[in-house]
Amino acid sequence: MNNKIEVVQTYILRNEKEVIKVLTPPYDYVENKFLFGLAIVRSNNLYGLIDENGNEVCSSMYSYICHPDKWGYATVYDSNKRCGIYSFKTRKQIIEPKYKIIWGYQEEYNHFIVQAPNGKMGVIRPDGCEIIKPQIYNLIMSKPDGIYGFEYGIAFVENEDIPLHPTRGCIDCDGNEIIKLQPAGPSAKFWNEFYELRNKLSKRV
């Protein structure tokens, strides 16, 4: 991981003020800016990372590396199009690429919403701990037609294990069912209970 890159006149890396390095193959692509002190590089159609001194921080192992968010978290993809998270700040892969989708980091709750290849959704912390394993819920949203994730510490959930007979409920950030899963339908009782709880919690914010 600390392989020194030989310097030759091929690619130019810049920060906002100056030329940092001119780098050689094996890279066939070098991004022209640093983010959190790292630049994305590509070799043989696989992506990795180097630092401002030209040192290889992450070998070319991913099929794609997205730009990091403001917390330094970047979605990375393996050859099977499974995604994980790499931290540009700690310079480590923190979540193994095994998910179908990972939604943006929710700072308030210190977690990501994920979807596994089986279509189930779950919750995982940046340390890789799955708070809610993607085994039960097909949907975890702040509310119907809301965002994927939590709001006021709760989320609307659905389970579709029985075709044509989905169930729905409400959970907190630890996966506790605040409103037990129950048959979905036009029942006003569930929606009254759900929105009454949301309104109550919103007043605490």
Answer whether residue 1 shows pLDDT above 70: no
Q: According to the model, what pLDDT value does residue 25 have?
A: 65
Q: What are the structure tokens assigned to 184, written together? A: 């979905």
* 12 vs 66, more confident: 66
Report pLDDT digits (tens) over 18-72.
545 556 667 888 887 889 999 999 999 999 999 888 889 999 999 999 999 999 9
Q: According to the model, what pLDDT value does residue 8 have?
A: 45
Spatial separation of the C-alpha atoms in residues 21 and 101, rounded to whole Å: 35
Q: According to the model, what pLDDT value does residue 33 have?
A: 83
Q: What are the structure tokens assigned to 146, written together? A: 């809301």
Q: According to the model, what pLDDT value does residue 24 have?
A: 60
Report pLDDT digits (tens) over 69-94.
999 999 999 999 999 999 999 999 99
The contacts found for 121-124 with CB under 8 angstroms, 24 or more apart, are: 121/148, 123/173, 123/175, 124/95
Q: What are the structure tokens assigned to 136, written together? A: 């039960």
Q: According to the model, what pLDDT value does residue 11 have?
A: 53
